[in-house]
């Protein structure tokens, strides 16, 4: 996949943290990701997909459709 169609998760998570100011950002974001992946209404990446992207590319990234789905799930824009 082209790099221009990928968005680094750290950018999205930083934007979310700035907006929400979580006391424990790692735990909060992990909980949001877990809930999003389990919710049947929102298409998401799988845990194995996350592991594959991290091992192959060295970091987690999302496709545009995944970002839109996650934004719908949490109710806030991330970009």
pLDDT tens, position by position, 7-53: 999 999 999 999 999 999 999 999 999 999 999 999 999 999 999 99
Copy the structure tokens of residue 53.
Answer: 């992207």
Each domain of the chain, given as residue ranges in start order, spans 3-74
Q: 78: pLDDT confidence band, cut at 50, 70 and 90?
A: very high
pTM: 0.89
Report yes or no: 53 and 61 within 8 Å, Cβ to Cβ: yes
CA gap 37, 35 in Å, rounded:
5
CA gap 10, 18 in Å, rounded:
12
Phi, psi of 25 (to 5 degrees): -60, -40
């Amino acid at each position: 996949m082209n790099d221009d169609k990928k968005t680094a998760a750290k950018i999205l998570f930083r934007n979310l943290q700035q907006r929400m100011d979580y006391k424990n950002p790692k735990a909060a974001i992990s909980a949001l990701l877990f809930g999003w992946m389990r919710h049947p209404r929102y298409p998401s990446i799988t845990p194995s997909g996350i592991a594959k992207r991290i091992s192959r590319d060295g970091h987690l990234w999302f496709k545009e459709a995944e970002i839109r789905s996650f934004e719908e799930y949490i109710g806030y824009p991330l970009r």
